[in-house]
Amino acid sequence: MKPDLFSKFDPLIAEREALAATGVRDPFGIVMDEIKSPTVAIIRGKETILVGTYNYMGMTFDPDVIEAAKTALDEFGTGTNGSRVLNGTYKDHHDVEEALKEFYGTKHAMVFSTGYQANLGFVSAIAGRGDYIILDADSHASIYDGCAMGNAEVVRFRHNNVEDLDKRLGRIPAEAHKLVILEGVYSMVGDIAPLVEMVAVAKKHGAMIMSDEAHSMGFYGPNGRGVYEELGLEDDIDFVVGTFSKSVGTVGGFVVSNHPKFEVLRFVSRPYIFTASLPPSVVAAAAASIRKLRFAHNKRAHLWENTRAVHAGLREMGYTLGTETPQSAIIAVMLPDQQQAVVTWEALLNAGVYVNVARPPATPNGMFLLRCSLSAEHTPEQIKAILAAFKAAGQASGAIS
Ligand SMILES: Cc1ncc(COP(=O)(O)O)c(C=O)c1O
């Protein structure tokens, strides 16, 4: 074929063809034919336990959340057809921002159409020409894309490395405006940030701080606000970013803050302005879910129990995990190459357990991962079945002996 704009993708096309030729199923082409509950789906006719969905608190089938969505659907229709700053703000968009303010105890909350867009829209707008963004090297793609979209100088520091953050902040002109971007939980291997030390360093250099708490909402901190709340940093973090696509159980993203000028962002953030707002049923569901999450103490406790059980079980079997101890509801099983990752993944699926495959460039240090995310709704029987499947799959693929 004559070279054209697609030629740059030839190595990826060849890699995917080589994988298909081995006869294994495509981990990036799974279709959920039926969803039975927050933890069970039918995939190709087989009942499958879901261990890779970020449905941490199992809110997707909560009766109050479903009821709220149905009521909004009946009363307001399927979509808004417009931007938040024109015709796309309905009463439920206001209400979900109120629910967020209650949940986080902040004065302001701004909802975007996804968590990806929240990072894109906030990061690109807040730091402009002459400003500095200092971010962890393992930051989520949406944070990097927000940096790429904006005009600020971007400085990376080594993942979770407090000294490197200090060193790099020290090289930036003292008078420049700076934003340090951290994540409570890093989603690839499920490790948490040393936020106390990082915040102290950022403050020393006069930087503002944003923490993306996408993977800690609901189950970290006394009110489920995130790792920053657990560590007593509520007065120190200037902006918290989050998503509705994980613990909340629907779709959408947000930033909350106490900054007195925060509301101006609605008029300067392009990914907020130049896109349609979320359907009313989605924001109504999110509001109902957020209001329940705050008081979901039992779910929180159960999620941690499940996480500890799976982490300990996998370690005992001889798997190498992303973290020594369970730090979040993400447990990453590290495998040496794509072949072993995909073969183990397929054996798990055949045994009725679905996990995520993660590979470079999404993963740091060229790692191939089988990523598990636990749910508060996994039953003790499901936890047993998950561990049994990992044992058999790992032995069959040679990942464990
Ligand atoms: C840390 C982090 N931030 C933001 C997002 C984006 O969230 P959403 O799925 O709502 O676009 C994700 C999603 O995986 C994430 O892991």
The DSSP-derived string for 266-317 is GGT-HHHHSSPPPPHHHHHHHHHHHHHHTT-HHHHHHHHHHHHHHHHHHHHH
Q: Is the CB of 214 under 6 A from ligand 1?
A: yes
Residue 320 lies in a domain: yes
* CATH code assigned at 147: 3.40.640.10
Q: Is the CB of 116 under 6 A from ligand 1?
A: yes
Alpha-carbon distance 31 to 42, whole Å?
Answer: 9
> Domain check: are 26 and 161 in the same one?
no
> Domain check: are 141 and 269 in the same one?
yes
> Domain check: are 328 and 381 in the same one?
yes
Residue 2 lies in a domain: no
Q: Quick one: pLDDT at residue 379?
A: 98
Q: Quick one: pLDDT at residue 367?
A: 87
Q: Quick one: pLDDT at residue 360?
A: 84
Q: Is the CB of 238 under 6 A from ligand 1?
A: no
CA of 114 to the centre of ligand 1 (A): 8
> Domain check: are 53 and 67 in the same one?
no
Q: What is the mean pLDDT of each run of 10 residues along the chain (401 residues)?
A: 95 90 87 97 96 97 98 98 97 98 98 98 97 97 98 97 98 97 96 98 98 97 97 98 98 98 98 98 98 96 98 97 96 92 94 94 85 98 98 94 87
Query: Domain ends where: 261, 293, 325?
Result: 293
Alpha-carbon distance 372 to 357, whole Å?
Answer: 9
| Residue to probe by mutation, ligand 1, list 113, 119, 142, most atoms within 8 Å of CB | 142
Nearest to 254 by CA among 92, 110, 78, 43: 110
Phi, psi at 242, each rounded to 5°: -155, 180
Query: Domain ends where: 265, 293, 321?
Result: 293
Structural domains of the chain, count: 2
Residue 253 DSSP symbol: E
* CATH code assigned at 32: 3.90.1150.10
Helix, strand, coil % in the chain, rounded to nearest 5:
45, 15, 40
Residue 272 lies in a domain: yes
Alpha-carbon distance 311 to 329, whole Å?
Answer: 9
Measuring CA to CA, how many Å separate 197 from each of 229, 248, 366?
14, 29, 28
> Domain check: are 267 and 174 in the same one?
yes
Alpha-carbon distance 375 to 362, whole Å?
Answer: 23
Alpha-carbon distance 277 to 283, whole Å?
Answer: 10
Kindly give the pairing relationship between strand 178-183 and strand 132-136. Answer: parallel
Nearest to 96 by CA among 117, 73, 69, 122: 69
Helix (H) or strand (E) holding 338: helix 338-350
Residue 5 lies in a domain: no
Q: Is the CB of 139 under 6 A from ligand 1?
A: no
SS3 assignment, position 367: coil
Residue 159 lies in a domain: yes
Buried b (16+ CB within 10 A) or exposed e, 331-360: bbbbbeebebbbbbbbbbbebebbbbbbbe
Residue 278 lies in a domain: yes
Alpha-carbon distance 234 to 222, whole Å?
Answer: 12
> Domain check: are 146 and 285 in the same one?
yes
> Domain check: are 183 and 244 in the same one?
yes
Q: Is the CB of 246 under 6 A from ligand 1?
A: no
> Domain check: are 249 and 156 in the same one?
yes
> Domain check: are 252 and 284 in the same one?
yes
> Domain check: are 310 and 282 in the same one?
no
Q: Is the CB of 106 under 6 A from ligand 1?
A: no
Alpha-carbon distance 324 to 10, whole Å?
Answer: 38
Residue 98 lies in a domain: yes
Q: Is the CB of 132 under 6 A from ligand 1?
A: no
Measuring CA to CA, how many Å separate 212 from each of 70, 122, 221?
30, 11, 14
Alpha-carbon distance 62 to 299, whole Å?
Answer: 12
For residue 372, what are the contacts with CB-CB under 8 A and spacing of at least 6?
51, 52, 310, 330, 331, 332, 333, 355, 356, 386
> Domain check: are 252 and 109 in the same one?
yes
> Domain check: are 146 and 284 in the same one?
yes
Domain that holds residue 261: 61-293
Tokens at 1, concatenated: 């074929």
For residue 296, what are the contacts with CB-CB under 8 A and spacing of at least 6?
57, 218, 224, 376
Residue 331 DSSP symbol: E
CA of 214 to the centre of ligand 1 (A): 6
pTM: 0.96
CA of 213 to the centre of ligand 1 (A): 9
CA of 244 to the centre of ligand 1 (A): 9
Query: Domain ends where: 258, 293, 328?
Result: 293
Residue 6 lies in a domain: no
Contact 88, 80 (CB under 8 A): yes
Residue 193 DSSP symbol: P
CA of 392 to the centre of ligand 1 (A): 32
